[in-house]
Structure 1
């Protein structure tokens, strides 16, 4: 069963003219592909905020998560250093995709290339409540790696 679609208003900026709006590549896709509005060469270990030529008005109560594309990550080492990135509902500036090249070779991005995917997600507001003590759990205060690597 599909959830009802959430309308997200999109303003096309001048350098985004002629580019497709973010869209789902298949009927089962969770993320919409978003494309670059610029040509760049991303050097090995380099980072760049890639322009999309779009600004969004995300409804209150939602966020848009920016996630890497698996093919770019596997084949070229292209990822997002803050994945998933969050676009808040009150942000109205240009959507830019922060990419990092973890590969050994420079990577060319051309205008119109798919660079990331966007996932629309509801936001649950939390409230911090200060207490003197926390309840006990089986894990307790065990930190990074405390549950081990292997099962069984």
Structure 2
């Protein structure tokens, strides 16, 4: 089931000429986020370096939704550039600039120019958990086994 959600955006002065976040195809889940770095001062992300890259807009997500900032698969596969805290979470009550923490895990410096597509943003519904304290948890076949306990394959 597909749900349409309206998200209010506010362009910031340094992002005014950039395209709004947009889905690249009709079946895409993520909207492209673009770098709002100065045209005359692109970033050069050295191997092992991370940077907080501005996107030039702020937004108001509806209550009950979040936005997840995820890597672009092409940047990761071809250059080793990814989102450090993937997925980064933008909460519905955040009103600051959308920014992306990029890291270069590749072997070569990676340039980031104004308007480059640097990440994708997926808007998703949020389930609000209610945590309760109990004496014992219900038993399962797996139990407390984790971190590879179910085998390699």
TM-score bracket for this pair, using the shorter chain length: over 0.9
TM-score by length of 1: 0.96
Q: Matched residues in 1 for 2:73 and 2:3: separation?
A: 26
CA distance in 1, matches of 2:46, 2:67: 27
Deviations, residues 29-60 of structure 1 (Å, cap 9, x unaligned): 01001100012111101111100110010110
Q: 2:50 aligns with which of 33, 47, 52?
A: 47
Mapped to 1, the partners of 2:84 and 2:112 lie a distance apart of 17
Alignment of 1:14-33 (within 5 A): 14-33=13-32
1:67 alignment partner, one of 65, 70, 89: 70
What are structure 2's unaligned runs of at least 5 residues? Answer: none
Aligned to 2:115: 112
Report the Cα distance in structure 2 between the residues aligned to 1:143 and 1:135, rounded to whole angstroms: 17
Question: 1:5 matched to which residue of 2?
Answer: 4
Q: CA deviation at 1:17?
A: 1.4
Task: Tell me the TM-score normalised to structure 2 length.
Answer: 0.95
CA distance in 2, matches of 1:119, 1:72: 17
Is there any run of 5+ residues in structure 1 with no aligned partner, and where?
A: none
Separation in 2 of the partners of 1:81 and 1:149?
26
CA RMSD after TM alignment: 0.8
Equivalences, count: 149
> Runs ≥4 in structure 1, deviation > 6 angstroms?
none
